[in-house]
Amino acid sequence: MPPHPKKKRSYGKKGRRWSHSQLDPVAISTCAQCHSPKPPHQVCPTCGYYGGREVISMTPEEPGQES
């Protein structure tokens, strides 16, 4: 026979064990360039700017760039 708990764990005990496992709200910051919501510490997916300069050009690609 496998080991078996001697006593029933109460709902209060269960709740205290899981009290540290709540989810954090998703962090959202605002782009300094286009003021659209974006994830912090990441390049803006709307305008491609990060740290005051353009990192990814969001203009349409030249022909032959995309496969």
Nearest distance from C-beta of residue 28 to Zn ion, angstroms: 13
Residues that bind Zn ion (CB under 5 A): 31, 33-34, 44, 46-47
Q: Which two tokens stand for residue 17?
A: 């064990």
> Considering beta carbons, is residue 16 or 42 the nearer one to Zn ion?
42
> Considering beta carbons, is residue 1 or 34 the nearer one to Zn ion?
34
Q: How far apart are CA 57 and CA 63, in angstroms?
A: 15
> Considering beta carbons, is residue 14 or 32 the nearer one to Zn ion?
32
Task: Provide the H-helix boundaries in the chain.
Answer: 11-17
Task: Provide the H-helix boundaries in 3-53.
Answer: 11-17
